[in-house]
Structure 1
Amino acid sequence: MSLVKYKQKRNFSKTAEPESGKKGKATSHIFVVQRHHASRLHYDFRLEVDGVLKSWAVPKGPSMNPADKRLAMEVEDHPYDYKDFEGTIPAGNYGAGTVYIWDKGTFEILHPNGNSFDKEALREIKSGDLKIVMKGKKLKGEFALVKMKGKEDNAWLLLKHKDEYAVSEYNSEDYTPEKVKAQGLKEKAAMKQASKKKPVIRAKTAPAAAPAKQKKITGGHPVKKRYKPMLATLVNEAFDGEEWLFETKWDGYRAIAAVENNKVSLYSRNDKSFLKDYPPVVAAVEKISHTVVLDGEIMVLDNKNRADFQTLQHYTTTGKGHLVYMVFDLLHLDGYELQQLSLLERKSLLKDLLSTLNDDTVRFSEHALKNGTKFFEKARKLQWEGIIAKKTDSAYEEGRRGMSWLKIKIVNEQEALICGYTAPRGSRKKIGALVLGIYENKKLKYIGHCGGGLNEATISELYNRLQPLVTKTSPFAEKVATNMPVTWVKPVLVCEVKFQEWTSDKIMRQPIFLGLREDKPAKEVQPEIAKPLTMTTTENQRILTLNSKKVTLTNQSKLYWTKEKITKGQLIDYYLSVAKYILPHLKDRPESLHRFPNGIDKPSFYQKDLDLEQTPDWIKSVPLHSGSTGKDVDYLVCNNEASLAYMINLGCIEINPWLSRLNSLENPDFIVLDLDPEHIDFRYVVETAVHIKAALDRFKVQAFCKTSGSTGLHIYIPTGAKVSYDTSRLFGEYIARHVNAELPRTTSVIRAKASRDKRVYIDYLQNSRGQTVAAPYSVRPKPGATVSMPIDWKELNDDLRMSDFDIHNSLDRLNETGDLWQDINKVKNDLRKIIREMEGQ
């Protein structure tokens, strides 16, 4: 009977997990710890008791250090045969992700009381205090599982006792197959073998494992069909940093190469195959005797060993030029996904790998450590395009443009869309100048004409490529002034141009055509404006000038998310990068400060009343009377970037504004319905939101939706500040109870947690003076640094997850979609009229 929940959650026709399984005659009791890459990496800790595996999810993994108190969330029992399960649970199934065995062994009860083993173990589990002795390869000695008082029913702590096996420092991640493989590969054993033999990379056996002969390791992860390249953010100057390395910015086509069973895939960032275009690269990569996935740049080198992008443009037709695949990252090796290794570890493995390949076509991209300014000066003298700065401990984040990889350009360059061409003048034929554009907030924007860099051969090639794209109408919404007739084309072809500078109207000055970008998707062509270096400084303190105010930012390297290695400085960088989107939603609203001075894992506190003696005089504040204390409270008001940076520097990971503004504090601008799931799947939150939308549509009420960034959804109903909080709350309650009546089994309007277990709580009580809700684009103090993200109603589906939007990818989404809530303050639902209609029903 204890396996009922386990079976209910799984479809055994779609997952290879065991449906059941019984123990044989063995008298010892086993334990197993499985490392589980699901929506979040965690460790599943399982103990054999009474014929099943009692199970706990341990987010940070077990520790041999008695000082570590590991949270362990009790989950459903698993069948005995689950002790041997390894593999991938397919997407769409419960627990989707990859599972492998991290440790395995037997265990005993520490203080048996004469009961049978199972009876005593069940008694101690029921009492919330289980003490055991573990005999594994990694986990040895005395441990305790202690149930936490006053917490969730399933919250426990996994503790190591002080004994002969205890250690002072321990990291579960040091014992993963990836790390073990990295350690072995660095030995470079047997690299220089006889010339007739194919060299192989050998690896040591894992720590604490029985001695074994060295052999080539192969893991169980198949090569994925496609890998998305990690991207770099443009900054405006070079810098030095202890935790940074610096590479040449190669001027070519970004390419992913995958080799499996000597078969090669070679493709661009926009998924275009390069197999037929660059045969020498394919032939060279094909020689690699391992299963690998490489990330690098295909380019043509000139006689000074510099990348020649224009020669590369014509390589597919001329075959001329010294073709090279410059590789700078390794994503997969012999069955192991390596993205979570640090950059230095990946590059070390990559260098070892490529040293066995005697083909100059594939090269290792060298780097310099720490001294970026010196490296940049070298780049300038050698006339490189620029340099790339990368954090040495950074993971590989597929498809993301974060702050761990930065690029510093020597020459201003911009990807642009060819939107048309002007008629030629003088001796030039077919094309006079290219009319260029980029996407900004989903709208195509004109950025200038480009006639420089176009020779006869280039013009002829471009003309032929553009003819099938000719259209009668301009792709721009605004009128574009030209001095010659224009032939408009569909904005499909991407080109690269260099230019002097951006004008005040955001037009390129003196652009010169460099070539077509076959490797870039047209929809991703957006303005690339360099961020100030101060936003990426590696110093522990920095001073920014924002809104003509000097803002001192402290403890910039302090980790706010320990597991994700996200610092306070990175959090501030995020908020400044989205300032133009978030500030309109904060303007003239009192802020309740929720401060996390030491990150999400340490205690936090709320502060409403500013200490004005310690606050800069340029910070706006407003005194408001507090009914609970009978005193005036000085609230912070955040109307600009300087105030935003100051507030985040106080440790405010999330931003919590009032629902009303200073000019109408008693009348909120919105009614908010907060959908909070209590031990129920997120799809029911989506279902509830859809029903709320349908109910509002019946009254012709326009509403907006966003993820909470925590567990649920927020639905905002604009009111135009025309009604009081009391009226707003009554309307919210009406809608909540209406939907609760439609979905009585999965929703609740009762605040008490016991009454809403396994239901979605529709919270309408936030609609009171002084109550706050996390702002749109606010980061939340949750694992993964998730963001409260406005979404289109069409995005409400079973695939929606909190983890879809985080500190790393939110800016890219904003650049693509713009602010979906930019018109929320223009919407003014006539709530009085709607209430009259409701009363008349």
Structure 2
Amino acid sequence: MIEKNIPNKLFPVRESAYKGLFFILGMKTQDNEFLLGIQKGNIIVHIGTFSKGLKKSERNSLIEAINKNQNTSEHDTVSIEPAICVEIYFKTIVDNQLVDPNFHSFQLNLNWYECTWDRLLLDNNSTNIQGKITHPDKTIWETPFINKESYISYLIQVSSYILPFLRSRALTTIRYPHGVPGESFYQKNCPEYAPSFVNTVNKDGINYIVCNDSPTLHWLGNQMTIEYHVPFQTVESNNPLEIVFDLDPPNKAGLPLAIKAAIEMKKIFDKFEIISYPKLSGSKGLQIHIPIIDTSLTYDETRVFTEFIAKYLVEKYPNSFTIERLKKNRGKKLYIDYIQHAEGKTIICPYSPRGRENATVAAPLFWDEVNENLKIERYNVPFVLDRLSNNNCPFGDFFEQTNSTLKNIIVSLKTK
């Protein structure tokens, strides 16, 4: 049995109790406490013990069943294979353990493998989407195995990280109605059947979804929306709130070129006192985000900066990088895409999954992760969740940055 860290922030203390479905893993004979487990991915997690809430007859029946089916007995602990399912009320989860668990009922018609971490999250989700999920067992990715229930659980767990980058932006999505890989289609127009809580904005005759909150994000997940692409500006502004460089290698094997370009960019940005944030595209390259304070620059102004950086790197490393737009003329060079940063263009949102094998994610990175050991396939849905449970988000202070030197740098570049 391997224990996985469970982030406490998903179950903040509240007045009403949480409830969940768990299975019995055994009992502690000395304390008359029963061990609870839950399925997290392919791993059985020990999530606490309980003794309160049982009637005498229920306690005696449970003890009898455990003793009859025990497979190991060590010290004062008797263990059994998962089989007996129970519903438990609890206050929160701290250090991977239920706080103040109380027995509510046996769930005799439930199979133990239905007692999952994903179901626990969905059952206790404040948006109450559980009853609205259609075909929760539908497979989205075969490897790693992720069904719709697990996928929407992912969206719940990353909602506080992804929503700041979705909020107030006209959303373009890619849906995979039959899973990944499979048939997919872009969607810009909000469908007529969307619920009333889904906000929209009309731009150039297109009624875009604006994903401002968790209910909208979870509804999109239920629509098999896998990729979330956002423009660089909000619906309230014509100016960008960030600069993004797209480092596009010729193929997956070209990731070292993207790493090289990113490191060289970081050197320049540090000299300019510019705070930048790298992320994996989730496909084959890297993207570098630079926040702009108060949308204080126009696209024409940011183009002066992005063009300068791109051309400088191409001039310094002509055999490695290019700004040639036609793929057939790039050869084996990395394309530094500064043209993409423009009004009407979009970029994959941080923490958005990609419609790729292995369930890869457009994962934010710390700069010290951008090295020769970086592997795109490692940063998939399960890994990103595990990483967030043990580390802060690399983009956590993104919207606190001012990058006040940008304006003067661009003014200086214009005069050259």
Q: Which TM-score band (shorter chain)?
A: 0.7 to 0.9
Instruction: Give distance in 2, aligned partners of 1:648 and 1:788.
Output: 16
Deviations 1:686-727 (A, max 9, x none): 111111111222322221111111111110111221112232
Measured after TM superposition, the shift of residue 501 of structure 1 is 4.1
Equivalent residue of 1:702, what SS?
A: coil
Cα deviation digits, residues 133-167 of structure 1 (max 9, x gap): xxxxxxxxxxxxxxxxxxxxxxxxxxxxxxxxxxx
Q: Give the deviation of 1:604 after TM superposition.
A: 0.9
Q: In 1, Cα distance between the equivalents of 2:304 and 2:41?
A: 43
Does residue 797 (structure 1) correspond to residue 371 (structure 2)? The answer is: yes
| Structure with the bigger percentage of helix | 2
| The one of 7, 16, 21 aligned to 1:238 | 21
Answering whether residue 50 of structure 2 is matched by residue 411 of structure 1, we say yes
**Mapped pair 1:624 → 2:189:** no
Q: Identify the residue that residue 239 of structure 2 maps to in structure 1.
A: 667
Query: Is 2:296 aligned against 1:716?
Result: no
- SS of the equivalent of 2:290 reads strand
Return the match for 1:584 from 164, 169, 173.
164
Instruction: Give runs of aligned pairs for residues 519-534 of structure 1, distance below 5 A.
Output: 533=119
Whichever structure has more strand as a proportion of its residues is 1
* Separation in structure 2 between the aligned mates of residue 837 and residue 586 of structure 1, nearest angstrom: 33
Aligned partner of 1:361 in structure 2 is none
Equivalents in 1 of 2:377, 2:415: separation in Å?
43
- The residue type paired with residue 616 of structure 1 is P
> Superposition RMSD on alpha carbons, in Å?
3.2
Q: Output the TM-score relative to the length of structure 1.
A: 0.38
Alignment-mate amino acid for residue 326 of structure 2? A
Among residues 17, 22, 28, which one is paired with 1:307 in the alignment? 28
TM-score by length of 2: 0.75
- What is the alpha-carbon distance in structure 2 between the residues aligned to residue 236 and residue 547 of structure 1? 15
Are 2:407 and 1:836 equivalent residues in the alignment?
A: no
Contact 2:257–2:334 (CA under 8 A) maintained in structure 1: yes
Per-residue Cα deviation, 1:331-384 (whole angstroms, up to 9, x for no partner): xxxxxxxxxxxxxxxxxxxxxxxxxxxxxxxxxxxxxxxxxxxxxxxxxxx741
Matches of 1:803 and 1:667 in 2, distance apart? 34
Preserved CA contact (<8 Å) 1:236 1:533: no
Are 1:560 and 2:336 an aligned pair? no
Distance 1:618 1:536 in 2: 19
Give the conservation status (yes or no) of the 8 Å contact 1:236–1:531.
no
Change in Cα spacing, 1:549 to 1:560, as seen in structure 2 (3 Å) is: closer
Rounded Cα–Cα distance in structure 1 between residues aligned with 2:38 and 2:164: 34
- The equivalent position to 2:34 in structure 1, one of 384, 407, 415, is 384
Residues 550 and 573 of structure 1, relative CA distance in 2, 3 Å threshold: closer
Match of 1:694 in 2: 267
Q: Aligned to 1:785, which of 347, 352, 359?
A: 359
Distance 2:244 2:33 in 1: 56
1:598 aligns with 2:172: no
Matched, 1:635 2:219: no
The 1:740–1:551 alpha-carbon spacing in structure 2 relative to 1, beyond 3 Å, is farther
Unpaired stretches in structure 1, ≥5 consecutive residues = 1-227, 240-245, 251-305, 311-381, 390-400, 413-499, 512-529, 538-543, 626-631
What is the rounded CA distance, in whole Å, between the counterparts of 2:226 and 2:91 in structure 1? 36
1:212-611 correspondence runs (5 A) = 229=2, 231=4, 236-238=19-21, 248-249=24-25, 306-307=27-28, 383-389=33-39, 402=41, 405=44, 409-411=48-50, 501=91, 533=119, 535=121, 546-547=126-127, 552-611=132-191
CA deviation map 1:733-753 (0-9, x unaligned): 221111111111111111211
- In structure 2, runs of 5+ residues without a counterpart are 8-17, 52-89, 102-115
User: By how many angstroms is 1:729 displaced?
Assistant: 2.9
Q: 1:308 to 1:740 in 2, by over 3 A?
A: farther
**Alpha-carbon distance in 2 for matches of 1:782, 1:549:** 26
- In the superposition, relative to structure 1, how do residues 704 and 599 fare at CA in structure 2: closer, same or farther (>3 Å)? same
Partners in 2 of 1:510 and 1:563 — Cα distance?
A: 37
1:834: how far off?
1.0
Question: Kindly tell me: are residues 813 and 233 of structure 1, through their superposed partners in 2, closer, same or farther at Cα, counting changes over 3 Å?
Answer: closer
In the aligned structure 2, how far is the partner of 1:698 from the partner of 1:749?
A: 23
Q: Whose relative contact order is higher, 1 or 2, with alpha carbons under 8 Å and at least 6 apart?
A: 2
Letter in 2 for 1:677: P
Preserved CA contact (<8 Å) 2:304 2:414:
no
Distance across 2 between alignment mates of 1:648 and 1:655: 10
Kept in 2, the 8 Å contact 1:232–1:403? The answer is: no
CA drift of 1:553 comes to: 1.9
Cα 1:501–1:557 shift into 2, 3 Å: closer
Measure, in 1, the Cα distance between the counterparts of 2:355 and 2:176. 8
C-alpha contact 2:171 2:208 (8 A) present in aligned 1: yes
Shift in Å, 1:405 = 3.9
Larger radius of gyration: 1
Q: Aligned residue for 1:648?
A: 221
CA deviations over 1:94-141 (Å, ceiling 9, x no partner): xxxxxxxxxxxxxxxxxxxxxxxxxxxxxxxxxxxxxxxxxxxxxxxx
Distance 2:182 2:262 in 1: 33
- Aligned residue in 2 for 1:766: 340
* Cα shift at 1:545: 6.2
What is the DSSP-based 3-state SS (H/G/I as helix, E as strand, rest coil) of the residue aligned with 1:678? coil
Q: 1:840 to 1:407 in 2, by over 3 A?
A: same
Partner Cα separation in structure 2 for residue 767 and residue 509 of structure 1 = 48
Q: 1:473 matched to which residue of 2?
A: none
Aligned partners of 1:707 and 1:789 also within 8 Å? yes
Task: Give the letter for the 1:576 counterpart.
Answer: I
Counterpart for residue 76 of structure 2: none
Say whether the 8 Å CA contact 1:589–1:637 is kept in structure 2: yes
After TM superposition, give the deviation of residue 564 of structure 1 in Å.
3.2
- The residue type paired with residue 307 of structure 1 is K
1:502 shift after superposition: 5.1
SS at the partner of 2:346? coil
Q: 1:407 and 1:644, CA in 2 relative to 1: closer, same or farther beyond 3 A? A: farther
The secondary structure found in structure 1 opposite 2:244 is strand
Q: Does 1:814 align with 2:388?
A: yes
Residues of 2 paired with 1:811 and 1:546: CA distance? 20
In the alignment, which of 752, 761, 776 is matched to residue 350 of structure 2? 776
Report the count of equivalent residues. Answer: 348
Flag the 1:672–1:790 CA change in 2: closer, same or farther, 3 A.
Answer: same
Contact 2:173 2:226 survives alignment (8 Å): no
Shift in CA distance, 806/600, structure 1 to aligned 2, threshold 3 Å: same
CA distance in 2, matches of 1:650, 1:533: 18
Distance 1:307 1:576 in 2: 34
Asked if the contact 2:291/2:398 (under 8 Å) is kept, the reply is: yes
C-alpha separation between the residues in 1 aligned to 2:373 and 2:99?
44
Query: Identity of paired residues, percent?
Result: 29
